[in-house]
Structure 1
Amino acid sequence: MRRPFLAALLTTTLLVPAFAAPPLPEWREGDGYLIGVTVQYQGQTYRALQSHTAQKGANWNPASTPALWQLHHGPVQRCSPWQAGYSYQLGDQIRYEGDYYRARQAHTAHAGTEWQPPRVPALWQPIAQCDAVTPVPPGNTDTINGIKVPPDPGAAGRKTLAGIDADHDGVRDDVQRFLAQEVGKHPARFKYAMEMARITQQEILTAGGNDREEARRLANQGDLPLSCFHDTFNSSVEDYEWRLKYSKKLAALHANTPERMAAIIKNSELLGGMMFHSPMRYRCE
């Protein structure tokens, strides 16, 4: 016989203190991890730098793959001095020997690698000065569904393949505004949509390099945020129809110039006939 709900709730409350936080999951080979997910490995806490599947036999554990995992130190203070051994996120701003830099990609500055900002332009972009609060000047943002977004780039955002990304978050400003409007009321849904948009933007920008392995890496990487995005919906007909319309509008926005459409077609051609890895289990933050 089932216990009454209230009695079960009281029993659970007595057994588990209200302040007890659930333990972080242990890293497991074969699982899929979304960017930003935190795990435990050998007593240390790591945060995923990019969405990926820990393929069996590849030895992609957090301690061995700094490109995929960073030892979690907490956020970098804006404009703090560069430090060897520290893990940096995309967009972090630091100072080094009187100059200022913004991180082009997430990475760990391992001791002994001599990855000082002037030596590795692939990792660090020189800037005139650290921004006071955000990369977008105060007063030059809009708020859509409670989310601060850059201003509408208009026609200027369609002049180049990369478009305009005023806040340097890896997503074109017109795409970011669309996502805030369409899914901004649901924080997790917006986060997963932004991660998918970052990957799509990378696919557009790298397609011209004819690198099939890079195209496959990005395609595998995009499978996780896509799965997490769909997990935020119910399985109703209404939700399915909404997602279908949303996907068509987003695809049209990504390919809103002939150059971007050509890049997307080229990326699809690079993926033709390739095999892909889908995780049996995946973790959404």
Structure 2
Amino acid sequence: MLAQELAEELRGDPLDDLDNSDPTASDVAAECDLGLALLRGDAGADSQERCMQGLRIFCEHRDPRALPLLLPLLTESCPILRMSAVYALGRNPSPQAVEPLLGLLVSDDNGYVRKAVAWSLGNYPDAPILNPLIRSLQVDISAVRLWAASSLAEAGCTGPAKADPAAAQLLLSMRIDSEPAVRSNSAWALGRLYGELVEPRQQLVVESLLHSMLNDFESGVRDEARLALEQLEQPEVLERLQTLVEEGLLS
């Protein structure tokens, strides 16, 4: 399916629709039971629509019973079903999903699906996701790069051994990526990784964020870099920011 056709049929990316409300346990249980019933529905004229309804439930809620019903959907010919199954597996992470998700990140020909995988892998920080996400941040389309940057922060937060190579790529992307949203997410991710890094990488992160804050041509990137620096809560960094304000270089 062409990307334009997929966009028209999608009617809203599930990633944009994830519900952050706090329903009662009984409400969640009832919804999950409904979701399982929908995913198990007999084949028929409306089987795809029922499946989509079930997938949307598991994009919001976690239930281990859904796993054997979600995994086969990763090989569906319809990219909307594959994408929704990927989001559901991000909400319902399982070691069994790692290999097929990584396969989709590399080989799926649909950008919406790869974007979903880049987001979902952030919920698998202990899996071998670091190098695949780095590659996506280097070479994939902007929507995938954006979420690869965010998920690299989750992968790198598991310890210095992963944080350092993640930070190396994020520093490069924050400097050279053509998409402002990717540069912004790279700045945010570097702020998240700072505590897992050691010198001289920490100092390089600070200097790079300062450079982006002062020199990036997009205000959103400059704002994100400044916020990342402020949230480090390092006295010397806050002092440098205050000096820049006093010198009129920051408002």
Give TM-score scaled by structure 2 length: 0.28
Flag the structure with higher helix content.
2
Flag the structure with higher strand content.
1
Give TM-score scaled by structure 1 length: 0.26
